[in-house]
Amino acid sequence: MFASPWQLLIVLALFLLLFGGRGKISAIMGDMGKGITSFKKGLKDEVDEAKDAAEEAIDVTPKKDKQA
Protein backbone atom coordinates (compact mmCIF):
# COMPACT_ATOMS: atom_id res chain seq x y z
CA MET A 1 0.00 0.00 0.00
CA PHE A 2 2.77 2.46 0.90
CA ALA A 3 5.59 3.23 -1.50
CA SER A 4 9.14 2.38 -0.59
CA PRO A 5 11.68 5.20 -0.12
CA TRP A 6 13.30 4.31 -3.46
CA GLN A 7 10.01 4.68 -5.31
CA LEU A 8 9.38 8.06 -3.68
CA LEU A 9 12.89 9.20 -4.59
CA ILE A 10 12.40 8.17 -8.24
CA VAL A 11 9.04 9.95 -8.44
CA LEU A 12 10.55 13.08 -6.88
CA ALA A 13 13.46 13.02 -9.34
CA LEU A 14 11.08 12.65 -12.29
CA PHE A 15 8.93 15.48 -10.96
CA LEU A 16 11.96 17.76 -10.70
CA LEU A 17 13.10 16.80 -14.20
CA LEU A 18 9.68 17.50 -15.69
CA PHE A 19 9.09 20.81 -13.96
CA GLY A 20 12.66 22.07 -13.93
CA GLY A 21 13.37 22.45 -10.24
CA ARG A 22 13.21 25.65 -8.27
CA GLY A 23 11.24 28.60 -9.47
CA LYS A 24 9.06 26.92 -12.06
CA ILE A 25 6.79 25.12 -9.61
CA SER A 26 6.13 28.30 -7.68
CA ALA A 27 5.56 30.16 -10.96
CA ILE A 28 3.02 27.54 -12.05
CA MET A 29 1.20 27.80 -8.71
CA GLY A 30 1.26 31.62 -8.92
CA ASP A 31 -0.23 31.54 -12.41
CA MET A 32 -2.88 29.10 -11.21
CA GLY A 33 -3.75 31.45 -8.33
CA LYS A 34 -4.03 34.41 -10.70
CA GLY A 35 -6.30 32.38 -12.97
CA ILE A 36 -8.60 31.43 -10.11
CA THR A 37 -8.74 35.04 -8.91
CA SER A 38 -9.55 36.26 -12.42
CA PHE A 39 -12.26 33.60 -12.78
CA LYS A 40 -13.90 34.58 -9.49
CA LYS A 41 -13.76 38.28 -10.44
CA GLY A 42 -15.39 37.50 -13.78
CA LEU A 43 -18.20 35.61 -12.06
CA LYS A 44 -18.77 38.49 -9.63
CA ASP A 45 -18.84 41.04 -12.46
CA GLU A 46 -21.36 38.91 -14.35
CA VAL A 47 -23.66 38.70 -11.31
CA ASP A 48 -23.37 42.47 -10.76
CA GLU A 49 -24.26 43.14 -14.40
CA ALA A 50 -27.30 40.86 -14.14
CA LYS A 51 -28.48 42.72 -11.02
CA ASP A 52 -28.00 46.10 -12.73
CA ALA A 53 -29.94 44.90 -15.78
CA ALA A 54 -32.80 43.68 -13.57
CA GLU A 55 -32.96 47.04 -11.79
CA GLU A 56 -33.00 48.97 -15.07
CA ALA A 57 -35.73 46.82 -16.62
CA ILE A 58 -38.83 48.74 -17.64
CA ASP A 59 -42.22 47.36 -16.72
CA VAL A 60 -44.21 47.20 -19.98
CA THR A 61 -47.17 45.18 -18.76
CA PRO A 62 -50.48 46.96 -19.42
CA LYS A 63 -52.32 48.29 -16.43
CA LYS A 64 -55.61 46.57 -15.63
CA ASP A 65 -58.74 48.68 -15.53
CA LYS A 66 -60.52 48.70 -12.19
CA GLN A 67 -63.95 49.45 -13.75
CA ALA A 68 -65.30 45.94 -13.69
Q: Kindly compute the dihedral angle of the four CA atoms of residues 15, 32, 24, 22, in this order, to the nearest 10 degrees.
A: -80
Contact status, residue 21 vs residue 12, Cβ threshold 8 Å? no
The one-letter amino acid code at 6 reads W
Question: What does the pLDDT look like over 13-26, one tens digit per residue?
Answer: 888 877 776 677 77
Q: How far is CA 49 from the centre of its chain?
A: 18
Give the best-scoring range by mean pLDDT among 18-22, 40-44, 57-61: 40-44
Range in 16-25, 34-43, 58-67 the model is least confident about: 16-25
Q: Read out DSSP for 12-61? A: HHHHHHHHTSTTHHHHHHHHHHHHHHHHHHHHHHHHHHHHHHHHH----P
pLDDT band at 10 (very low <50, low <70, confident <90, very high): very high
